Amino acid sequence: MNARTRTLLAAALVLGTAAGPLTSPAAARSLLPAADPVSRVSPASPVSPAPAGPDAGALRAALTGLPGTHATAALVRVGGTGGSWRGSAGVHDLRGGRPADPDARFRAGSVTKVFTAAVVLQLAGEGRVRLDGYVREYLPDLIPAAYGRVTVRQLLDHTHGMPNADAPGGDVHDWYARRFDVHDPRAAVASATAKERVAPPGEVQRYGNIGYTVAGLLIERVTGDTYENQVTRRILRPLGLRGTYLPGASPRIRGPHNHGYQVFPMPDGTAELRDATVWGVTDTWAAGALISTTADLERFMRALFRGEVVRGPLLEEMFTVPAGVPGATMSAGLQRYEVGDGRVLWLKSGARWGYSTMIAATRDLSRTLVYSVNSTDAKGKEGNPVTERITRAAFAR
């Protein structure tokens, strides 16, 4: 290990906690410069004026200081009508200290939800699923009568009213000890639906994984195929996303990848930094298991926004926030934010231990952003200064 990396690692080891990505709708607002209040209904966004190219200086500055206490590496792609910018910083791993691989695979976390929503909408376009149909009609053995009024659309826009499933363990130490456990999505649904609902369907938007776990099971029931095969056949293979896959029960990342790390707070007030690269993802499955690259996510986002993945009127489900739901910001798979200069961004963030990811763009693709940041507290509740700097620089004018 070189001297600089050793110094930075030592600094990380004395942290109390480190900031992570902003995965909740409320926290995500801080990623964007001077966001205006979000409207509850989102018609097609107006076409943005053609922007200048990305601010290369600001983007380079956003990546300075890596590896550092908040992140060990970052991979960034910014595109749009004004030009593109690619950059990476940090290290492949703290032990060896060689530069981060800019083409590396990483855990995309909840960006998986965009793929899941797209498959459900494709099935709706084929007449195999009705968005206004009750989920219990498709999964009567899994969805009890108490949740019989939940619709397919409400699964996708987080207004279903179902609580989260029980998770074993209460902190990162417990979860790390159980990182190789294999979880059954049906058991997660049974755990969630055994509880009282959070709210009547369609009245409250509450972000979580359980709706997309049910959506994955819905895909399997309707198609008679596995969720993984359906995503591969319908999206990954047609778009040529060769660096993207769903790992199933494997806790490893296939192919080239940069290591992810997680800060573990210790009883004496110090912290320990551990390699979190090898960690199972069956707990999130159709809500957060995807492994990808920045190039693949950029290609997917552009194809999605252009109507090449979900076709016709159903695409607007991904760009429409539910009406009549106070404070709603999420559509089917995406999140909507109005930036102070009048632009509307559609985005999705994701976090797995060691990895923070975001895809974001204006509706007309005049500016796009994909990043993967190896955050040292990817699931932390506070903002990560590295991801915030990248996002502000990417959408600066």
What is this structure's pTM? Answer: 0.89
3-state class of 56 per DSSP?
helix
Give the pLDDT confidence score for residue 170 in this predicted structure: 85
Give the pLDDT confidence score for residue 43 in this predicted structure: 36
Token digits of residue 248: 């199933």
Q: Is 2 exposed, middle or buried (0-12, 13-18, 19+ CB in 10 A)?
A: exposed
* Domain coordinates in residue numbering, the chain: 3-394
Bridge partners, 105 (sequence order): 257
Cβ proximity of 217 and 187 under 8 Å: no
Per-residue model confidence as pLDDT tens for the chain (397 residues): 444 333 333 333 222 222 233 333 333 333 333 322 222 233 334 444 455 899 999 999 999 999 999 999 999 999 999 999 999 999 999 999 999 999 999 999 999 999 999 999 999 999 999 999 999 999 999 999 999 999 999 999 999 999 999 988 889 999 999 999 999 999 999 999 999 999 999 999 999 999 999 999 999 999 999 999 999 999 999 999 999 999 999 999 999 999 999 999 999 999 999 999 999 999 999 999 999 999 999 999 999 999 999 999 999 999 999 999 999 999 999 999 988 888 999 999 999 999 999 999 999 999 999 999 999 999 998 889 999 999 999 999 8
Give the pLDDT confidence score for residue 40 in this predicted structure: 27
Give the pLDDT confidence score for residue 51 in this predicted structure: 56
Q: Give the chain's radius of gyration (CA, Å).
A: 20
Letter string b/e over residues 363-387, b meaning 16 or more CB atoms within 10 A of that residue's CB: bbebbbbbbbbbbbbbbbeebbbbb
Give the pLDDT confidence score for residue 46 in this predicted structure: 45
Which fold is adopted by the domain 3-394?
Answer: Beta-lactamase (3.40.710)
Cβ proximity of 230 and 119 under 8 Å: yes
Token digits of residue 114: 């965009």
